[in-house]
């Protein structure tokens, strides 16, 4: 392996194309990095649908980063800096986890941005499909990032500057303005796929989204409210405030195509079973309801992956690499046969869909009370009182 030059890997040309889905993982993105290594061995993941912690390994793979280098990158995630309080907050603002959060993931954004730039991906324009490449229908990018968006009911009191919108103290004040004004913006969660559906929700970004950094939006998708500060934008015409946060709030098994319509390519979503209930047969029924035209593959927790978010600061190089190795080992045992079965299932679903025109209603768990409300507002979804997926 060359020390200074990125060397893309050469894969067989006849690998089965599919859509790889990496959802929220907390601080277990290292395990997902090992899984992404295997996904490229068993087929051709031509599209990466990502949310929360899954954005780190998914963007690295979509950028074409050599898998050996991805292992090096994965081990160096600056986890120990993630839980540092945001600069500029006063003592009473640091105590307001119920509102706008205290932690800032800017260090992780800068770290990921530097690695992506090293392999030639500085903006979303660099993730566009090239002419002739295999891709799912209705997409233009090799990766999509899911973020949760909520918009205030009323215009803000004044036009905000960019410095204000990035200031932690201002974010807290803006949150209080929405909260005590009884606007409850989090009751109106919507999933936004960056860059695919920006024009539907944030039309003023449509012309410039190709020039945005994927690392910026990855940081947005990893910022789990209320612990982390949300990102705030302002609609230039209406002056409403737009709060953006962790995509896992909307969907822990994210896919742009998981809306009841059958996609042109099969969906494969490897996930850790985060509790005992998810190791039982009933979970397969719940997963099928959440991703009706794809497959969720559950893997058992092991000593390398069984830890809480509060232990994240103790994840060093050795611990992260051990998590990566476990992902590779578990993935090689199961994913090849799972993809083969999925391809057959998808072909059958496509034949059946030619005779059916109604979408299948996708189940969305109510992880929180406000998300349960939001799920009921989303088209082609069915609200279920369920645990974190």
Same domain, 264 and 383: yes
Model confidence over 289-305: pLDDT tens digits?
888 889 999 999 999 99
- Give the percent of the chain with pLDDT over 70: 87
Same domain, 257 and 374: yes
Q: How many CB atoms are located within 10 Å of the residue 232 CB?
A: 20
Round to whole Å and give the CA distance between 74 and 241: 35
Q: How far does CA 328 lie from the centroid of its chain? A: 20
Same domain, 233 and 293: no
Q: What's the CA angle centered on 251, arms 208 and 72, to 5 degrees? A: 70
User: Is residue 334 over pLDDT 50?
Assistant: yes
Please indicate, yes or no, if residue 3 is contained in any of the structural domains.
Answer: no
Owner of token pair 């260090």 = 107
Among residues 138, 156, 181, the one where a domain terminates is 181
Same domain, 118 and 166: yes
Same domain, 215 and 175: no
Same domain, 68 and 164: no
Round to whole Å and give the CA distance between 167 and 176: 14
Please indicate, yes or no, if residue 88 is contained in any of the structural domains.
Answer: no
Please indicate, yes or no, if residue 22 is contained in any of the structural domains.
Answer: yes
Q: What mean pLDDT, rounded, does the chain reach?
A: 86
H helix runs in 119-181, sequence order = 162-165, 168-180
Please indicate, yes or no, if residue 365 is contained in any of the structural domains.
Answer: yes
Same domain, 269 and 329: yes
User: Is residue 285 over pLDDT 50?
Assistant: yes
Please indicate, yes or no, if residue 109 is contained in any of the structural domains.
Answer: yes
Q: How many CB atoms are located within 10 Å of the residue 173 CB?
A: 14
Among residues 146, 181, 216, the one where a domain terminates is 181
Same domain, 284 and 364: yes
Q: What pLDDT, on a 0 to 100 scale, did the predictor assign at position 156?
A: 96
Model confidence over 7-33: pLDDT tens digits?
667 777 788 999 999 988 778 889 999
Same domain, 296 and 329: yes
Please indicate, yes or no, if residue 92 is contained in any of the structural domains.
Answer: no
Please indicate, yes or no, if residue 1 is contained in any of the structural domains.
Answer: no
CB 248 within 8 A of CB 23: yes
Instruction: Tell me whether residue 214 is exposed, middle or buried, using C-beta atoms within 10 angstroms of its C-beta: 0 to 12, 13 to 18, 19 or more.
Output: buried
Q: Mean pLDDT highest for which of 23-27, 91-95, 232-236? A: 232-236
Same domain, 260 and 343: yes
Total number of domains constituting the chain = 3
Q: What dihedral do alpha carbons 115, 75, 254, 196 form, nearest 10°? A: 0
Model confidence over 159-185: pLDDT tens digits?
999 999 999 999 999 988 988 888 876
Q: What pLDDT, on a 0 to 100 scale, did the predictor assign at position 357?
A: 58
Among residues 166, 181, 196, the one where a domain terminates is 181
- Give SS3 for 19: strand
Residue 51 pairs in a beta bridge with 146
DSSP-derived secondary structure letter, 249: G
User: Is residue 367 over pLDDT 70?
Assistant: no
Residue 367 pairs in a beta bridge with none
Lowest mean pLDDT of 188-202, 244-258, 327-341, name the range.
Answer: 244-258
* Closest alpha carbon to 60 in 20, 17, 4, 102: 20
Please indicate, yes or no, if residue 127 is contained in any of the structural domains.
Answer: yes
Element (H, E) at 347: helix 317-353
Question: How is residue 23 written in tokens?
Answer: 């959802």
Same domain, 274 and 365: yes
Same domain, 175 and 199: no
State which residues form the domain around 204.
185-246
């Amino acid at each position: 392996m060359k020390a200074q030059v990125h060397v893309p890997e050469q894969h067989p040309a006849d690998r089965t194309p599919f859509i790889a889905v990496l959802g929220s993982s907390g601080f277990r993105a290292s395990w997902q990095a090992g899984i992404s290594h295997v996904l490229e061995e068993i087929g051709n993941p031509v599209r990466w649908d990502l949310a929360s912690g899954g954005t780190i390994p998914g963007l690295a793979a979509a950028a074409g980063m050599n898998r050996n280098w991805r292992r090096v990158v994965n081990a160096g995630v600056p986890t120990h800096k993630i839980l540092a309080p945001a600069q500029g907050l006063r003592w009473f603002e640091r105590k307001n986890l119920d509102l706008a959060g205290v932690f800032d993931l800017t260090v992780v954004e800068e770290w990921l941005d530097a690695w992506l730039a090293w392999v030639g991906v500085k903006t979303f324009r660099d993730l566009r499909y090239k002419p002739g490449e295999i891709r799912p229908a209705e997409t233009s990018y090799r990766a999509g990032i899911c973020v949760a968006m909520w918009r205030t009911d009323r215009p803000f009191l004044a036009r905000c500057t960019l410095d204000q919108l990035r200031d932690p103290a201002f974010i807290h004040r803006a949150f209080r303005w929405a909260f005590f004004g009884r606007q409850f913006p989090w009751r109106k969660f919507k999933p936004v796929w960056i860059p695919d559906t920006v024009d539907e929700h944030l039309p003023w970004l449509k012309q410039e989204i190709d020039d945005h950094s994927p690392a910026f939006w990855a940081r947005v998708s990893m910022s789990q409210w209320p612990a982390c500060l949300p990102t705030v934008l302002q609609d230039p015409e209406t002056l409403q405030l737009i709060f953006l946060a962790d995509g896992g709030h909307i969907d822990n098994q994210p896919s742009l195509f998981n809306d009841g319509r059958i996609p042109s390519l099969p969906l494969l979503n490897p996930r850790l079973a985060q509790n005992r209930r998810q190791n039982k047969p009933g979970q397969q029924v719940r997963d099928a309801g959440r991703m009706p035209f794809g497959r969720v593959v559950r893997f058992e927790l092991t000593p390398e992956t069984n830890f809480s978010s509060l232990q994240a600061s103790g994840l060093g190089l050795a611990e992260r690499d051990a998590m990566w190795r476990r992902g590779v080992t578990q993935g090689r045992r199961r994913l090849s046969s799972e993809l083969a079965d999925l391809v057959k299932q998808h072909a059958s679903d496509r034949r059946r869909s030619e005779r059916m025109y109604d979408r299948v209603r996708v189940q969305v768990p109510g992880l929180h009370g406000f998300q349960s409300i939001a799920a009921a507002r989303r088209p082609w979804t069915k609200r279920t009182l369920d645990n974190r997926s």
